Amino acid sequence: MKPLDTLREQVRRDRVFDFMVPKTGLELDVSHGTILYLEGLTVSFDGFKAIDDLNLYVGAGELRCIIGPNGAGKTTMMDIVTGKTRPDQGSAWFGQRIDLLRLNESEIAEAGIGRKFQKPTVFEQHSVFENLEMAMAGDKRVWPTLYARLNGEQRDRIDQVLDLIGLADARRERAGALSHGQKQWLEIGMLLMQNPKLLLVDEPVAGMTHQEMDRTAELLNSLAGQHTVVVVEHDMDFVRSIANTVTVLHQGRVLAEGSMEQVQNDPRVVEVYLGE
Ligand code: ADP
Ligand code: MG
């Protein structure tokens, strides 16, 4: 084999490998029904406790909403789960066997935790399909040489995700030409190409039209079950439309947790929101 062919073959094999096997070598174990265990977490910034003895548990396959006033610690909590911020105290486990505090950011991603930031970051010059293809490849430098080399399983996966995110008809469109809402869905699709078990989504409907919000609610609902989804969101109508369980964070702790109705009628929650 010529060197270039050898390289391509290697890349092709690695990519199939990437798609199927977590590199940490750690199996996610959710046999107790819980996928995320955060216990006794504390994080201080210059003496100020952004997270203060936080205990939070998320069930496997759940669609959980996290709400709370500005500065409650929502983003910091996600930063801990994804390895961006290290806590001063406490523990964070992904299933029963994966200790998140022993892994770095890329190992956590490889273990099956995906994060969607607020601003969409799609490759505007490339088509919707190519964006999903690149997301699957992981290594963005090699993708052009691989374009014609997708195997059937990989094509099926892209088609499946295109349907899920409602962009099957837009597969050949340039991502830069999509609406804001469509870009957000494409980015969720790009995360799905990595097959995450847990998806963290920060304020997905900011800037969306009502129609786009409804579609996003449907999309997140359809992911639950196969994936676990944790959504931080301010828009209460949106939260009401998707959540089974809502967790209210306040001053780095869980203030209340339950159905939207329970949480809304909790006097402590009312006070926090009215006092904002
Ligand atoms: P939320 O996402 O709920 O609005 P954050 O997690 O962003 O809250 O912030 C919680 C608190 O921690 C805020 O008071 C914020 O100012 C502070 N904070 C967050 N990150 C840092 C940082 N890197 N350095 C200093 N303070 C921070
Ligand atoms: Mg935030």
Our answer on whether the CB atom of 70 is closer than 6 Å to any ligand 1 atom is yes
At CA 224, angle to CA 218 and CA 226, rounded to 5?
130
- Alpha carbons within 13 angstroms on the beta-carbon side of residue 114 total 19
What Å distances lie between residue 255 and 45, 54, 173, 220, 268, CA to CA?
Answer: 21, 10, 45, 25, 8
Give pTM, 2 decimals: 0.86
**C-alpha to C-alpha distance for 33 and 52, rounded to whole angstroms:** 25
pLDDT in tens, 188-244: 999 999 889 999 999 899 889 999 999 999 999 999 989 999 999 888 889 988 878
- Length of the chain as a residue count: 276
**C-alpha to C-alpha distance for 88 and 111, rounded to whole angstroms:** 23
Check: CB of residue 103 under 8 Å from CB of residue 25: no
Our answer on whether the CB atom of 45 is closer than 6 Å to any ligand 1 atom is yes
Residue with token string 């099956």: 112
pLDDT in tens, 65-110: 999 999 999 999 999 999 999 999 999 999 999 999 999 999 999 9
Which ligand sits closest to the CA of 49?
A: 1
pLDDT, position 16 = 44
Q: Strand order in 245-250's β-sheet?
A: 113-116, 198-202, 228-232, 63-67, 245-250, 253-258
Spell out the domains of the chain, with CATH numbers in brackets. 3-274 (3.40.50.300)
Our answer on whether the CB atom of 76 is closer than 6 Å to any ligand 1 atom is yes
Q: 149 CA to middle of ligand 2, Å? A: 40
Residue 7 has pLDDT above 50, yes or no: no
Helices (H) and strands (E) in the chain, counts: 11, 10
Strand partners, 202: 232
48 CB contacts (<8 Å, ≥6 apart)?
A: none
Average pLDDT score over residue span 135-163: 74
What Å distances lie between residue 166 and 162, 225, 250, CA to CA?
Answer: 6, 19, 35
Residue 173 has pLDDT above 70, yes or no: yes
Position in ligand 1 atom list of the atom nearest CA 232: 2
**C-alpha to C-alpha distance for 157 and 160, rounded to whole angstroms:** 5
pLDDT, position 18 = 45
